[in-house]
Amino acid sequence: MQVLQVQLEIRPDPTEVGGARRWARSRLSGSGIGPDEPLVETLILLVSELVTNAVVHTGRPAVLRLLLSGGRDGSVSTVRLEVVDASTCPPAPRCAEGDETGGRGLALVEGLADRWGWSPEGVGKRIWCELDRCAPGASGAGAVAAPGMYPASAGVPTGVGIAVVAREGFAFGAV
């Protein structure tokens, strides 16, 4: 299995969210994932939610990571999105009511991602979610994943190679 990791540093400014979406879209387009695949728009929505949560609720810089994993043939089968911030407060899902303008982000993440979770990371935390790329002709998420691969409480799955990279850098690693 090959893993490609790219990351972007995010300033604690809500205007960074649009740039994070554009950055993620450009990284996906260079990975062989077509712009019309449902995974793309779902991932962009998840980037919006998690980056917004990081910059609005912590007021500190964050790091957005995309990990693209797949087979030896170079095709991407799973996209993992991670947002690392410097707050130790765990994510707290809320039940927004009526006209409230916030409180729906983690419910969206739970509903859209194939798997998600969080874990402590240094002086802060890492919130992650994964989307499985559907096989051609398949419908819905999870079409190519092994069932029960990683529960949300699992944190970082074992066996996934993670490279430390600089702003907008990338690295390949065999797992």
Question: Where along the chain do its domains lie?
Answer: 2-174
As a dihedral over the C-alpha atoms of residue 110, residue 86, residue 61, residue 92, rounded to 10 degrees, the angle is 30
Confidence bin at 39 (pLDDT 50/70/90): very high
Q: Is the sign of the CA dihedral 69, 71, 75, 78 positive or negative? A: negative
Q: Tell me the CA distances in angstroms from 29 to 22, 23, 34, one per residue in order.
A: 11, 10, 6
Q: Report the percentage of the chain scoring pLDDT > 90.
A: 50
Q: Report the percentage of the chain scoring pLDDT > 70.
A: 76
Query: How much is the pLDDT for 51?
Result: 96
Give the E-state strand segments of the chain in sequence order.
Answer: 2-10, 62-70, 76-85, 115-121, 124-132, 170-174
2-174 CATH fold: Heat Shock Protein 90 (3.30.565)
Confidence bin at 161 (pLDDT 50/70/90): very low
Query: How much is the pLDDT for 1?
Result: 64
Tens digits of residue pLDDT in 86-129: 999 888 777 777 777 777 788 889 999 999 999 999 899 999 99
